[in-house]
Structure 1
C-alpha cells in the first residue's frame, strides 16, 4: 500500500513558474524542494538557461528570452515579458499534455496573474504564490483597493489590521513623487486581479510571524 501511494504521488506533476527578479526566485525554489520532498514530480520553469539546478529532486526547464529581446528599462522589460511569456508557457504546457506525466498544477508567482488563465485553458489547476511577506502584500492589496494613493497624501498611513506606517516604512516606489515606476506599481496591484479565482493561494510567511497582516478576502 505504501509503495502504491508513493507511486501515485510521483505521478502528480507540478509546474512552478517564478518571476525572474531578485527576491522572487529563491522562495519558489525552496517551495519546489518542499513539494518534491512529498514525492511529487516538480518542474521549475525558468526564463534563463544560465540558472543551474540546485536540487536533483527538482527538474529545471527553460523558456528563455532571446538576447535580442532583452531591455534595460524595467517597465519595458515587464511589458515585453507579459507579451511573450504567456504564449511560450502555453506551448510548454501543451507539450506536457502529451508526456508520460502531464502537469496537474501550475504554481505561479502572484506577479503573473495571467498564468492562471493559461493553466486553466489546458485543464491545469492554478496556485498563486506570494513570495513577499504578508505585511508587504497587505500594503499592495490596500493600494489596489484604493485605501491610499501613490504617493501617500499623509505622512502616516493607517491600514486595517496593521500598525500605523510612516512613509519610511513603505516600499520606496510607493512614496515616489516622480511617477518613475508606473510598470512596477501596476505589477504589484495586478497580483490581486484574479487571485480569488485560483485553486490555491500560498504566501511566504506563517501565522505566528504576521498574525496582524491578514487580508479579509472572504
Structure 2
C-alpha cells in the first residue's frame, strides 16, 4: 500500500491555458509523494483524450453540464454561474473522498476565477493555495488596470505604457488581449472584489 505525505485536491478553471499548468504542478507534487485528485468540469473531462497524470479524477458540476463554457452567454456569465452552483458539488466531492478514507488536506484552486473554493475549504478545516497560471508581470498589469493606474486601450498605436514595477516601458502589443476586450472590465471588477474579500481574511505566503 502506497503511503502519501498528503492529499491535494486540484480545482482548475476549465480552459486549456489554465488546466495544463495545473496538471504540470500536480506532477511535481506527485513526485514529492503527494496524492492528487483533479476536478475538471464534466464537459472538459468528457472532451479530454487522456489525463497526463496518474492522479485521481472527480468531475465537478459547473452549472452547464455537458455544454460547458460554450453553452454560456459570455465568459462573465459562465464564471458567475460556476460561482453560484460550484460550492455544493465541491463540498460533496470533499465529503465523498473523506468517506472513502482519502481525506483532503489541501485545495489548490485557480485564482482569481474560483476564489469561492476558499469558503468551502474553510468549512472542512482544509488549507488552500491560490494558483496563478500567468506570470507576475501579467498579474501586475491586471492589478494596475483594476486600480485605474493603467488606462486601456491605449490612445495611440505607438504609445509607450509605463507600469510601476517594470524596468522598461511596454508597447500596446505587449498588453494581454484579455484586458483590452470590452467585456474584460466588468469581469475584472467582479473578480477583484471577490478575491480581495477572500484573501483579506487570511494570512498567506507567496511561492514562486
- Tell me the TM-score normalised to structure 2 length: 0.79
Task: Give the distance between the partners of 2:23 and 2:114, measured in 1 at CA.
Answer: 17
- Cα 1:113–1:119 shift into 2, 3 Å: same
* Aligned residues of 1:75 and 1:182 also touching (Cα < 8 A): no
Q: What residue is the counterpart of 2:139 in the other structure?
A: 137
CA distance in 2, matches of 1:98, 1:199: 29
Equivalent position to 2:162, from 137, 158, 163: 158
Shift of 1:149: 3.5
Partner residue, 1:29? 23
Q: Please identify which structure carries the higher strand content.
A: 1
Aligned twin of 1:59:
56
Distance 1:31 1:38, change over 3 A: same
TM-score computed with the length of structure 1 as normaliser: 0.76
Distance 1:105 1:41, change over 3 A: same
Distance 1:188 1:151 in 2: 20
Q: CA RMSD in A?
A: 2.8
Contact kept, 8 Å, 1:11 with 1:40, in 2: the verdict is yes
Q: Which residue of 1 aligns with 2:180?
A: 175
Q: Which residue of 2 aligns with 1:93?
A: 94
Q: Which residue of 2 aligns with 1:185?
A: 188
Q: Which has the higher contact order (CA 8 A, sep 6+)?
A: 1
Instruction: Verify the 8 A CA contact 1:93 1:103 in the aligned structure 2.
Output: yes
- Name stretches of at least 5 consecutive residues in structure 1 with no aligned partner: 1-5, 204-218
- Structure 2, gaps ≥5 residues long: none
Report the Cα distance in structure 2 between the residues aligned to 1:127 and 1:144, rounded to whole angstroms. 22
- C-alpha displacement of 1:115: 1.2
Alpha-carbon distance change, 38 to 28 in structure 1, aligned in 2, over 3 angstroms? same
Tell me the distance in 2 between the aligned counterparts of 1:72 and 1:41. 36
Task: Find the aligned partners of 1:31 and 1:156 in 2 and give their Cα distance.
Answer: 35
